[in-house]
Amino acid sequence: MNTADRRIAEVERYIHELAIALSGLPADEREDVIASIREHIDDSLLAIADPTPADVQRVLEGLGDPLAIAADAGAPAPSPGPTHRPSAPSAPLPGGASSPARTAGSTTAPAAAQAPLLEQEWVPMAMVGSFALAGALVWLGGRLGVVALTLWLVGLVILFAAPLWRTTEKVVGGLAFVIGPSVIVGLGLGYAPGGGVLYEFGSRPFELMMPRGFAPWPRLVEFGTSAFVVVAVVAAGAWLLARGSARAREAARRRG
């Protein structure tokens, strides 16, 4: 990918995240906001002779987090709620010159709009918790069970469905939580006593921590690999928890 392509991809990803974040706004308002933000980006980049990806990054950072923009815009959640939520009280308009529609809206507007389900502050904890619980179950039980697999899937669904993580963060998390456990389980099954049981789910994957009848060398490699993977996955989880929580708090603050 050349520099120009990377620039465009970066901008399109931002616009895409913004469109998702704003999906609760009326269509015409959403289109309007997206078009004018696109214009802002184009105008900013036109002013630079030969914009680098770092320039693009700076422009996008100046615009701010799409979720924060949506929260400020009072975008109601794209949720199945039966009632249409009025926009957040960030646009009080003067009594003197106000239209009837506006006055009606302002009297019914709640003090603070409720955050959409997957933007609430417990969501990052639930995501990381699902993975942690799944890991603990496999570790302690010594086998892959339906409960652990379900929890793992729940964690993945939350990670990808919640708007609390940026695209890059979702990708990093997806890689960590898919590849990490696969490597560990794969190692465990591969080294299970008897060998050749890669397809057998219940064959004590965590024998890998104390494989019987193996020379010390492969044991060391195996232990080192799984220790490294575990540390990497835990670090990724902690990072995603921190990012997601920060964004949920920020969104709540802007709403309230």
Partner 1 sequence: MVPSDGGFPHGTLDSRLLTNLRRGALEYCVLALLRHGESYGLDIAHALSADGVLITSEGTLYPLLSRLRKSGLVATSWRESAAGPPRRYYKLTAEGMAALAAFERTWEPFRNAVDRALKGAR
Beta carbon of residue 248, minimum distance to partner 1 (angstroms, whole number): 11
* Token digits of residue 6: 């990377």
Residue partners of 157: CB distance under 8 A and separation at least 6: none
Beta carbon of residue 246, minimum distance to partner 1 (angstroms, whole number): 4
Beta carbon of residue 67, minimum distance to partner 1 (angstroms, whole number): 8
Q: Should residue 89 be labelled a site residue for partner 1 when binding is judged by CB under 8 A?
A: yes
By CB under 8 A, the residues from 163 to 182 that bind partner 1 are 166-168
Q: Should residue 87 be labelled a site residue for partner 1 when binding is judged by CB under 8 A?
A: yes
Q: Should residue 12 be labelled a site residue for partner 1 when binding is judged by CB under 8 A?
A: no
Which of 43, 103, 224, 228 binds partner 1 (CB under 8 A)? It is 43
- What does each C-alpha distance from 199 to 7, 38, 182 come to in angstroms? 44, 50, 13
Q: Should residue 238 be labelled a site residue for partner 1 when binding is judged by CB under 8 A?
A: no
Q: How far apart are CA 168 and CA 161, in angstroms?
A: 14
Which amino acid makes up residue 25? L
* CB closer to partner 1, 204 vs 243: 243
Q: Should residue 32 be labelled a site residue for partner 1 when binding is judged by CB under 8 A?
A: yes
* CB closer to partner 1, 14 vs 152: 14
* Token digits of residue 252: 């709540």
Which of 27, 82, 84, 96 binds partner 1 (CB under 8 A)? It is 96
Q: How far apart are CA 56 and CA 35, in angstroms?
A: 17
Q: Should residue 6 be labelled a site residue for partner 1 when binding is judged by CB under 8 A?
A: no
Q: Should residue 248 be labelled a site residue for partner 1 when binding is judged by CB under 8 A?
A: no
Q: How far apart are CA 198 and CA 188, in angstroms?
A: 9
Q: How far is CA 253 from the centre of its chain?
A: 19
* Token digits of residue 194: 């008897």
Torsion angle of C-alpha atoms 33, 34, 40, 43, degrees rounded to 10: -130
Which amino acid makes up residue 187? L
* CB closer to partner 1, 79 vs 106: 106
Contact 192, 204 (CB under 8 A): yes
Q: Should residue 253 be labelled a site residue for partner 1 when binding is judged by CB under 8 A?
A: yes
Contact 189, 206 (CB under 8 A): no
Which of 3, 29, 202, 220 binds partner 1 (CB under 8 A)? It is 29
Helices (H) and strands (E) in the chain, counts: 9, 0
Beta carbon of residue 62, minimum distance to partner 1 (angstroms, whole number): 5
Q: Should residue 44 be labelled a site residue for partner 1 when binding is judged by CB under 8 A?
A: yes
How many Cα atoms occupy the beta-carbon half-sphere of 143 within 13 Å?
8
* CB closer to partner 1, 46 vs 146: 46
Q: Which stretches of the chain bind partner 1, using CB under 8 A? A: 10, 13-14, 18, 25, 29, 32-33, 36-37, 39-40, 42-44, 46, 57, 60-69, 72-75, 87, 89-99, 102, 166-168, 243, 246-247, 250, 253-254
